[in-house]
Amino acid sequence: MVSLLVAGTNGLAYKHLVGRLTEYPIPELRLPKASGDLLLDIGCSWGRWSIAAARLGYLPIGIDPRFEPVLAAKRVALQLGLKALFVVADARALPFRAGTMDVAFSYSVLQHFSDTDVETTAAQMARVLKPGGRSLVQMANVWGVRCLYHQARRGFRNASGFEVRYRSIARLREMFTRRIGPSQLKVDCFFGLGIQGSDIRMMPAWLRIVFRASGFLRRVSGSFPQLLYVADSVYVESRKPRE
């Protein structure tokens, strides 16, 4: 299941691994270590980010609207000896009590949602977060170099169905600040969506160059924040105000 899903969950750079995986591509979660904090993983699919969270000391609760990936996620977590919970659920109607989660996380999911669905999901995230809780959501940047290429390929028309929606940095900050709380954006990766430096060993030689260049630019963006505006994939980090 994971080997078949890997390109859909991890991005086009992983197409060569479909049906050929020899290990699970578990990414690096850019959050501090924890001790049992509840982390909601929205759109968990086979559980890669939930597993990354469990390895950092979180108790992840992954949700996905499809039964088969949720079942796969449960099996992967059990195989790796990690404690994680998985639920079949819709991000727009989270089946959890208000104020229960320490962190709400989502990767390569909300970038496919319409504006209305993004705001509905963000409002749901705010509801289930504890006061002072944080959210971390990956989104696609309208001015990213690779993102511009993909927009040009489809003639810069409005997205439909499950196509990626590209939004400006200002628009993303406004959407999440209004629904969750004060928000800041930071670079995830360049030259594509879903590029994870932790997976570089799985890539052919030419893609390793791309992965290294993306990692280098992400590190440099700490000194040159203007690079955020040409990154392809960005994180929106928000804080729910304390009551």
Which domains does the chain possess?
2-239 (3.40.50.150)
Half-sphere exposure of 60 (CA within 13 A, CB side): 32
Q: What is the pLDDT along the chain (243 residues), one digit of tens a residue?
A: 999 999 999 999 999 999 999 999 999 999 999 999 999 999 999 999 999 999 999 999 999 999 999 999 999 999 999 999 999 999 999 999 999 999 999 999 999 999 999 999 999 999 999 999 999 999 999 999 999 999 999 999 999 999 999 999 999 999 999 999 999 999 999 999 999 999 999 999 999 999 999 999 999 999 999 999 999 999 999 999 997
**Measuring CA to CA, which residue among 48, 51, 72, 71 is closest to residue 194?**
48
**Tokens (6 digits) for 9:** 């969950």
Q: Is the pTM higher than 0.85?
A: yes
- How far apart CA 15 and CA 5 sit, in angstroms, is 10
